[in-house]
Amino acid sequence: MQPPAAEPQAPAPVVALSPSSAPSGPQGRDVDSKLVDALISRYQETVSLAEIVKLKGSNPELRRLADGVIESRKRDLASLQKFRAVGN
């Protein structure tokens, strides 16, 4: 008997920034870093969920879609991680 599959965790809350709050909120590199960090977190979660669908999903079309999502988000993650490394 296999153990039950791990339930996907709810995404972390997103810090809401609106144009009207921008002057008093983070600016420049701080706001850039917040975006990069948020995207990295979301994309990592997306890759993890897509990998679960690829391995355990019952719908062949969704499994194919998961392949594309994994490939695309891994490319995006690599770009974002380079961006974060140089601090731009």
d(CA 37, CA 31): 10
Determine the pLDDT at residue 2: 46
46 is in which domain, residue-wise?
29-86
Average pLDDT of the chain?
82
> Residue 73: how many CB atoms within 10 A of its CB?
20
Tell me which of 9 and 80 has the higher pLDDT. Answer: 80
pLDDT tens, 32-57? 899 999 999 999 999 999 999 999 99
Q: State the pLDDT confidence band at 30, using cuts at 50, 70 and 90.
A: confident
Q: Could you give the number of structural domains in the chain?
A: 1
Whether 34 is in a domain gets the answer yes
Whether 10 is in a domain gets the answer no
- Note the Cα 22 to chain centre separation in Å: 23
| Average confidence (pLDDT) over 56-61 | 96
pLDDT at 5 over 60: no
Whether 76 is in a domain gets the answer yes
